[in-house]
Amino acid sequence: MHMTPCTDQVIGDILSSWRYDISGISPEMRVDYEQHFVECQHCHSRQRLHRTVDVTLIGLATISMLAFLLALSVIHRVEPLRNWAVMNLHLHQIDVVLTLQAAAVVGLLISALAWVLVAIATPAPVYITGVAMAQARELQNRLPRKAA
**At its nearest, how many Å lie between Zn ion and the CB of residue 57?**
24
User: Does the footprint of Zn ion cover residue 43 (CB under 5 A)?
Assistant: yes
User: Does the footprint of Zn ion cover residue 12 (CB under 5 A)?
Assistant: yes
Note the Cα 108 to chain centre separation in Å. 16
Of the ranges 41-49, 52-60, 71-79, 81-89, which one interacts with Zn ion (CB under 5 A)? 41-49
Calculate the CA dihedral of residues 45, 43, 57, 124 and round it to 10 degrees.
Answer: -110
20, 33, 40, 127: which one binds Zn ion (CB under 5 A): 40
Angstrom distance (rounded) from CA 74 to CA 14:
49
H or E stretch at 20: none
Asked whether the beta carbons of 66 and 132 are under 8 A apart, the reply is no
Of the ranges 4-12, 74-82, 110-118, 127-135, which one interacts with Zn ion (CB under 5 A)? 4-12
**At its nearest, how many Å lie between Zn ion and the CB of residue 28?**
20
Of the ranges 36-44, 51-59, 98-106, 136-144, which one interacts with Zn ion (CB under 5 A)? 36-44
Angstrom distance (rounded) from CA 17 to CA 33:
13
* Beta carbon nearer to Zn ion, 35 or 73: 35
DSSP state of 87: E
The residues of the shown chain that bind Zn ion, judged by CB under 5 A, are 6, 12, 40, 42-43
